[in-house]
Structure 1
């Protein structure tokens, strides 16, 4: 078993679950638990995977494929991040969605490097 087959899921899920906790703790120390829960709630964006056929393909990159992982959707998340009031729930959700897309993009690059 290649080391990358162990590291990729650890990195992916670490970035999806642990990193948001660190972001919340360091950038929103007064209400980090609430912010962490908001950031974790952005995982619901993965419900768009249920619209794909097959639902799960280990070699498919979700960024640019699934509806809520599309480039127009990412642009909307970016605009919300820019224009929402700093520290508002909407701003925090945009941070979570953008970080989620970054995490998925890193996973895509990891998968591409293992395929070639």
Structure 2
């Protein structure tokens, strides 16, 4: 596994933890868990062949990583009940987009 991939995966854990600590400290554990649930959108990788390609940009390729899906995730941030989950999904997409930029810059 490349250093870029390791950093990418670590950020998917660390950024939600940082956000939970900064904004929802009294409910840190619950907030972090709900933000981490943003990882559920990676289930769409199971539809791809190969399932994981370290040099492939997820954003725009996988169905749950497309603009219409992101619009739904943004909508989930409006109701209080789904807000943390929606933020987790958006953070996940943002981190994947950063990884795509990093891939393009390093090639």
TM-score, shorter chain, exceeding 0.5: yes
SS of aligned partner of 1:19: helix
Divergent runs of 4+, >4 A: none
**Secondary structure of 2:104's match?**
helix
Aligned to 2:18: 22
Correspondences of 1:30-109 after superposition (within 5 Å): 30-81=26-77, 83-85=78-80, 88=81, 90-109=82-101
Which runs of 5 or more residues in structure 1 are unaligned?
none
Q: Secondary structure at the match of 1:12?
A: helix
- Cα RMSD over matched residues? 1.3
Give the TM-score normalised by the residue count of structure 2.
0.91
Normalising to structure 1: TM-score of the pair? 0.84
Worse-matched range after superposition: 64-73 or 53-62:
53-62
Aligned length: 106
- The CA deviation at 1:18 is 1.1
Quick check: which has more Rg, 1 or 2?
1
Aligned equivalents of 1:13 and 1:59: distance in 2?
A: 14
Gaps of 5+ in 2: none
Which residue is 1:114 aligned to? 106
